[in-house]
Amino acid sequence: MRGDRFLIPVSYIQEWSSKVPWPDSRQVEQDLIISRALCDLFNCSALAGKIAFRGGTAINKLLFRLPLRYSENIDLVQIQAEPIGATIDAIRSALSWLGRCNWH
């Protein structure tokens, strides 16, 4: 969400709200973005066998039908000790729909 605007259509947020317990539309939107990002990351052939998903978000997304806590991030680790440049490039490509990161 940027200011008072959502990043994705409100109709998608409303639909997703039937699948998650979050009371705030901003949380619902972020949960949907995280879910979409995970699908894109783990459907990317360039990332197969390169990254693992771990942490609290992983536990909630993979083990529980309804999440037990709200998560704001995706914890990824590199599986093999190797140069990470190509992996980072593949992550950026898989998530390009999010736009460029702007550091302020």
Q: What is the pLDDT of residues 35-63, one digit of tens each?
A: 999 999 999 999 999 999 999 999 988 88
Residue 72 has pLDDT above 80, yes or no: yes
**What are the extents of the domains in the chain?**
10-95
The backbone region for 73, taken as left when phi is positive above 0, alpha when psi lies in -120 to 50, beta otherwise, is: beta
pLDDT at 2 over 60: no
pTM, full prediction: 0.86
Q: pLDDT: is 85 or 7 the higher one? A: 85
